[in-house]
Amino acid sequence: MSNCLTTIQDYGLRSVGIGERILPKTDITICEQVVLIGSGLIWNIYFGTIAVFVGFWFSVMLAIGKNNKFAVFRNPSNVFIFLFRGSPLFIQFFFAYELFVLLPKIGVTLDLGFVSLSMQSHWLTKAWLGGLIVLFCNTAAYSAEIFYGAIRAVPSTELEAAEAYGITGWNKFRRIIWPSMLRLAWPSYTNEAIFLFHATTLIFFTGFPAWRQSGDALYYANYFSDKTFNPFLPYPIVAAYFIFITLIIIFIFGVANRHLNRHLNVEQRAQIRLSLNLLR
């Protein structure tokens, strides 16, 4: 048991570069697998949380753009959504990485002397920024489609009532469309958040390198599976961690959902919960 405590001290924060540098190679214990894979989970939570929070606002903007009557706003939204929803995330990561690798070579000829700029384009090839940007764009596109559908589904009676009271423009959006849109979109959006967290496992299997073997949960699981030739331990550990994360997401989004639907009676709430679908 005390052995396991030292393992937690050594590898608990290994994925962010704190603790023992060298990964276990021989005589790998269950404790080491659980701790190190759990440590990798920090990356999954980092990618997932930031992409959801930042992606949310961008996706709402895209959805509003897609719903706009002017083609100038509509077309860019449509193109963005089509590009990121129509192609595999896996290829997007590869493409973005190769693109970011080429950037400094182009950037240096354009902006000589700007140290900060060359630094930034160098960061783009790291998973923490480059991978995050791709993930952010991807979830923004998927969520935008969800929110667009929800805007279209806002009951016309609510809009007519608002107009009858003289509520127009920004006020109409903020007080009528926005709350209804969120309420209607929330079950699907919960789903999107779950699958986004699952998608974070892809990053370290694409071009983005795991610097000093600091990877995510699946990266370490794959490492152990390669080292021990026994896939029956590390992969179920990752699976258990992700089931746990999924339950937490469902809980948090469930609290938000209850808040959004607090004005409805119990029967209407039950109907919304049932419509939770499973696919992205």
Asked if 193 is part of the footprint of other proteins (rule: CB under 8 A), the reply reads no
**C-alpha–C-alpha distance, residues 190 and 225, integer Å:** 32
| From candidates 14, 66, 183, 280, binder to other proteins by CB under 8 A | 280
| Sign of the C-alpha dihedral computed for residues 86, 89, 94 and 95 taken in this order | positive
Which lies closer to other proteins via its Cβ, residue 99 or residue 167?
99
Determine the interface stretch with other proteins among 15-23, 115-123, 194-202, 259-267 (rule: CB under 8 A).
194-202
Q: How far is the CB of 125 from other proteins (least distance, A)?
A: 12
| From candidates 6, 29, 76, 98, binder to other proteins by CB under 8 A | 98
DSSP 8-class letter at 23: P
Binding mask 240-259 for other proteins (x = CB under 8 A): --xx--xx------------
192 exposure class (CB count in 10 Å sphere: 0-12, 13-18, 19+): buried
Asked if 232 is part of the footprint of other proteins (rule: CB under 8 A), the reply reads yes
**C-alpha–C-alpha distance, residues 139 and 56, integer Å:** 8
Collect all residues with Cβ–Cβ distance below 8 Å to 188 and sequence separation of at least 6.
146, 149, 150, 276, 277
Which lies closer to other proteins via its Cβ, residue 248 or residue 255?
248
- Give the ranges where 68-177 is alpha helix by DSSP (H): 71-86, 89-110, 115-123, 132-152, 156-164, 169-172
Q: How far is the CB of 94 from other proteins (least distance, A)?
A: 5
Which long-range contacts (C-beta less than 8 Å, at least 24 apart) are formed by 239-245? Answer: 241/37, 241/38, 241/41, 241/217, 242/197, 242/198, 242/217, 245/41, 245/44, 245/45, 245/48, 245/197
Determine the interface stretch with other proteins among 3-11, 49-57, 63-71, 96-104 (rule: CB under 8 A).
96-104
- Chain-centre distance of CA 223, in angstroms? 24
Q: How far is the CB of 226 from other proteins (least distance, A)?
A: 10
Asked if 230 is part of the footprint of other proteins (rule: CB under 8 A), the reply reads yes
| From candidates 17, 76, 88, 155, binder to other proteins by CB under 8 A | 88
Which lies closer to other proteins via its Cβ, residue 182 or residue 199?
199
Binding site for other proteins (CB under 8 A): 26-28, 82-83, 85-92, 94-95, 98-99, 101-102, 194, 197-199, 201-202, 205, 218, 221-222, 225, 227-232, 235, 238-239, 242-243, 246-247, 277-280
